[in-house]
Structure 1
Amino acid sequence: MKPQKTNKDLLAKGVQRMAIALIFMFIGPVIIHSAFKNQDHTMYIPILCLGIAGAIFAITMGFIGIKIMMDAFFGKRK
């Protein structure tokens, strides 16, 4: 049997996800800006796609982190 996760564990997991999201909230736009500054470079499209993927990942991790933190505060929905 798996031990039950406490609210403290869930809160820590949510804060960790939010920290990851915060890091990617800065990395994604910096990469996108770098790609737009070098549009004549051959790696323009792959770098732009990498930046967009980082920005989407940041948004996703933010939502996941908020959901986990809400579960820690208010309990899971049944």
Structure 2
Amino acid sequence: MATNKELLAKGVKYLFGALPLMFLGPSVFYNALMNKQNNWHYLVLVIGCAICITSVFLAFKGLKTMTDALFNDTK
């Protein structure tokens, strides 16, 4: 059972892309909730939610790509 190293590297890149977003998203979300008196509150809240959703998407895509590389799931 050989591992597809290019596909595995691509999955690791997705996970490394998701890692900073996992910290940035909740920070932006918290900032939006603490500054409710500001006019930009809703915009910052939407941006924080989008960053969190992108982080989860990239993490799942990275894990799926890595499992495809490890178990030779060709499509």
TM-score of the aligned structures, taking structure 1 as reference length: 0.88
2:55 is equivalent to residue 41 of structure 1 = no
Give the one of 19, 23, 38 matched to 2:20: 23
Between 1 and 2, higher relative CO (CA 8 Å, sep ≥ 6) is seen in: 2
Q: When the two structures are superposed, what TM-score results if normalisation uses the length of structure 2?
A: 0.92
Percent identical among aligned pairs is 40
Structure 2, unaligned stretches of length 5 or more?
A: none
Structure 1 stretches (4+) deviating beyond 4 angstroms?
Answer: none
**Deviation digits for residues 17-75 of structure 1 (CA, Å, limit 9, x no counterpart):** 00111111001000001111100000000000000000000000011000000011001
**Equivalent pairs, count:** 73
Matched, 1:59 2:67: no
Read off the aligned partner of 2:22 and give its amino acid letter: M
CA-based RMSD of the aligned residues comes to: 1.3
Unmatched segments (≥5 aa) in structure 1: 1-5
